[in-house]
A and B are shown apart, each in its own frame.
Chain A
Amino acid sequence: MRAAFALREHGYVGEVTLIGAEVALPYERPPLSKTGEIAAIRTAEAYSDKRIALRPGAFVTNIDLGTRLVSLKGGEAMAYDNLLLATGARARLFPGMEGCLTLRTNLDAQVILSRLTPGAKIGIIGGGFIGLELAARARQAGAEVTVVEAGPRLLGRAVPPQIAKILHERHALEGVSLKLETGVVSASSDRIDLVDGSSMKFDTVIAGVGAVPETGLAEAGGLVVQNGIVVDGDFRTSAPDVFAAGDCCNFDWRGQRVRLESWKAAQDQGEHVALAILGKSVPYNKVPWFWSDQYDLSLQVAGIFDLGAPIHSRSTGDDTTVVFQCDATQNLVAAAGIGPGNATSKDIRIFEKLIERRTIVDAGRLADPSQNLKRLLAAT
């Protein structure tokens, strides 16, 4: 959707068609696990004003790179000059967990939200972002919540331990039962069976154990796929007139192949592809960025942390925490902040810009709260 509008914003006059399996007009996913609000991003008129043809509820079954045709379920075939695969990801479920609910779409959210009622016993598998946001949401709705996580701490994949600790303490304070280092053997709609042989009973079990990139079409078409659809600096796949962006793609971030599940990256990459299609591409330099809201706390992460390497803290106020990381050459590579509302947003935004500009920093200075970040940025 971002790419379609960006094509128009940058002057493309040819046909643009947005084909999507979901029936609803494009909507934002982040609120599904937070406020639960489901709203279209743009009205149907906004698409027609920009001459963007919508094909909701249309499932693409195949792409033929030779004849440049996409086939829809039901037999229809459509020709393209340039194709963008923005197929996203689907919620992961491990074998033996098939009966659990998962959250990816507006329809999933409707089912899950209807279960988060006062006194309901909710079991959540996975202490990642979706699991924790749902835990917060469920507590706020008055449900009894248990989170089961196999790892030794929450958010072990992408977030520094200093930040995860604050969220852990907050969830505990709010009355969420957090079970770490607890492996799950199998689970159904009302039961979780643990590695130690015990079982827990719930009214509803939700799994938040990650997402799998939706790469089936790319594979069927013969494109290179490796943890996502492999793309170059223009987000072009192994076929010159086929692009991929968002959760489904695997791209190079400063020498490291990554696949992100990030709302901002999906926006940035959509616009980037539009420019590439128009022959106006600029080097992709957008820093990975992610946020999460739980209770009144908001967390933001810019860049990608190496969780095995040292992480520095910048002492901010009592109720906020900001951490950052530099690589061996003193290059700032990542930063994260957490606090009530948007208390750390400004700092993290400045860190993001410093990362984008590949700023060499003195970690000691950056850790010192009396050093004005804005001035540091102005000096770069």
Chain B
Amino acid sequence: MAWIDACSTDDIDAEDVIRFDHGGRTFAIFRNHEDGYFCTDGLCTHEDIHLADGLVMENTIECPKHSSIFDFTTGEVETPPACNNLHCYKTKVEGGRVLVDI
């Protein structure tokens, strides 16, 4: 695990998500409605679809394919079809940059 500089705080709109690729892996970085930044694995646990095309509402992300809903602050599934939780990574904001611990 190491802190990686992922993006600028402005790269993500409020209540939105972007894709971040690093070291052959793919992640999703979220900004919630209160300017909190969070990071999870990029792919839905249902069928490997990237969550960066999904809809963020407060602290949840809805998968663009079959609408599984996850709480991205904890990774927990709120609505199936997904059965498995998302893995979460720590984040911190320093000097306008979002760092993720991956």
List the interface of chain A (C-beta within 8 A of B).
2, 5, 41-42, 46, 263-264, 267, 289, 291, 341-343, 345-346, 349-350, 374
- Residues from chain B with Cβ under 8 Å of A46 in the complex: 83
12 new A-B contacts at CB < 8 Å, known A342-B54, A346-B54, A346-B55: A5-B80, A41-B81, A263-B66, A264-B67, A289-B67, A342-B53, A342-B64, A345-B55, A346-B53, A349-B54, A350-B55, A374-B15
B54, B55, B81: residue with the most chain A Cβ atoms closer than 10 Å: B55
B64, B65, B67, B83: residue with the most chain A Cβ atoms closer than 10 Å: B64
In the complex, which of the residues B64, B66, B80 contacts A346, with contact meaning CB atoms closer than 8 Å? B64
Measured CA separation A163–B77 after assembly (Å): 32
Q: Does B49 make an interface contact (CB < 8 A)?
A: yes
CB distance from A224 to the nearest CB of B (A): 31
Question: With A2-B80, A267-B81 in contact, is A345–B15 under 8 Å at CB?
Answer: no
- Residues from chain B with Cβ under 8 Å of A2 in the complex: 80
CB distance from A373 to the nearest CB of B (A): 10
Residues of chain B at interface, number, CB under 8 A: 14
- Residues from chain B with Cβ under 8 Å of A374 in the complex: 15
CB distance from A301 to the nearest CB of B (A): 13
B62-A349 in contact (CB<8A): yes
- Residues from chain B with Cβ under 8 Å of A345 in the complex: 53-55, 64-65
- Residues from chain B with Cβ under 8 Å of A291 in the complex: 65-66
A349-B80 in contact (CB<8A): no
Please name the 8 residue pairs, one residue from A and one from B, whose CB atoms are nearest each other, closest first. Answer: A345-B64, A342-B64, A342-B53, A349-B55, A346-B55, A345-B53, A349-B62, A346-B53
A264-B53 in contact (CB<8A): no
- Residues from chain A with Cβ under 8 Å of B80 in the complex: 2, 5, 267
* Interface of B, helix, strand, loop or mixed by DSSP: loop
Question: With A41-B81, A374-B15 in contact, is A343–B53 under 8 Å at CB?
Answer: yes
Measured CA separation A323–B15 after assembly (Å): 24
Measured CA separation A267–B66 after assembly (Å): 11
**Interface pairs (13), CB distance under 8 Å:** A42-B83, A46-B83, A267-B81, A291-B66, A341-B53, A342-B65, A345-B53, A345-B64, A345-B65, A346-B54, A349-B54, A349-B62, A349-B64
B65-A264 in contact (CB<8A): no
In chain B, what residue has the closest Cβ to A345?
A: B64
- Residues from chain A with Cβ under 8 Å of B66 in the complex: 263-264, 291
- Residues from chain A with Cβ under 8 Å of B49 in the complex: 342
In chain A, what residue has the closest Cβ to B52?
A: A342
- Residues from chain B with Cβ under 8 Å of A341 in the complex: 53
- Residues from chain A with Cβ under 8 Å of B64 in the complex: 342, 345-346, 349
Interface string of B79-92 (1 = CB under 8 A from A): 01101000000000
Measured CA separation A289–B67 after assembly (Å): 10
A289, A341, A350: residue with the most chain B Cβ atoms closer than 10 Å: A341
Measured CA separation A41–B84 after assembly (Å): 12
CB distance from B32 to the nearest CB of A (A): 13
Interface string of B4-35 (1 = CB under 8 A from A): 00000000000100000000000000000000
Interface string of B59-80 (1 = CB under 8 A from A): 0001011110000000000001
In chain A, what residue has the closest Cβ to B17?
A: A346
Measured CA separation A343–B50 after assembly (Å): 11
CB distance from A129 to the nearest CB of B (A): 16
- Residues from chain A with Cβ under 8 Å of B55 in the complex: 345-346, 349-350
Measured CA separation A346–B66 after assembly (Å): 12
CB distance from A371 to the nearest CB of B (A): 15
Measured CA separation A84–B20 after assembly (Å): 44
CB distance from A33 to the nearest CB of B (A): 15
CB distance from B12 to the nearest CB of A (A): 13
| CB neighbors of A among B35-60 (8 A) | 49-50, 53-55
